[in-house]
Structure 1
Amino acid sequence: MVPISMETFVNKHCKNNPEENRAQFKENLKQAVQDKKNGVTCDNCGERIWAIGSTVSHYACFSCLTGEADSSGDYEIDEVCLL
């Protein structure tokens, strides 16, 4: 995964999704990051959740959300990137 700060990701996401409620999105992202830190796992496979993907969809890991195994080019919030 490519580490990205929360603020940078929120800015990117909201620029590409102008209809998004920025404050609510940031709050949801903070919660997903905290949940990942607390060890929340994917209901489908038991891997740790992907915080960014879990913010815009349902709580799950990268592979279950995207159907892909290679996450090397995708963002994850820097503070949980190595968990």
Structure 2
Amino acid sequence: MVPISIDSYVNKHCKSNPGEEPNKLKKRLKEAVNNKKNGASCFNCGQETWAIGSAIAYQGCFSCITGEADGSEDYEIDEVCWS
């Protein structure tokens, strides 16, 4: 995954989705990051969650939310990215 800060992601997302409320998105992202740090797992398969997807859709992993296996070119919040 490509690391990105919460603020940078909020700016990028809201630019592409002008109807999104930035403060609400930021709050959901912080909650999803905290959940992931505390070991949250995908409701469907049990894998670790994808914080960005979980803040926008539901608590899930990249594959269950997107239906794709390769998230190497997709964003994840930097503070929960591990090499």
Q: TM-score, normalised by structure 2?
A: 0.96
Unpaired stretches in structure 2, ≥5 consecutive residues? none
Q: How far off is 1:77 after superposition?
A: 0.3
* Number of equivalenced pairs: 83
CA RMSD of aligned residues (A): 1.1
Q: Which runs of 4+ in 1 moved over 4 A?
A: none
Task: Tell me the amino acid that sits aligned with residue 28 of structure 1.
Answer: R
The 1-side partners of 2:72 and 2:27 are apart by 26
The percent of aligned pairs where both chains have the same amino acid is 60
The 1-side partners of 2:81 and 2:30 are apart by 14
Q: TM-score, normalised by structure 1?
A: 0.96
In structure 2, what is the equivalent of residue 10 of structure 1? 10
After superposition, residues 65-80 of structure 1 pair within 5 angstroms as: 65-80=65-80
The 2-side partners of 1:72 and 1:64 are apart by 15
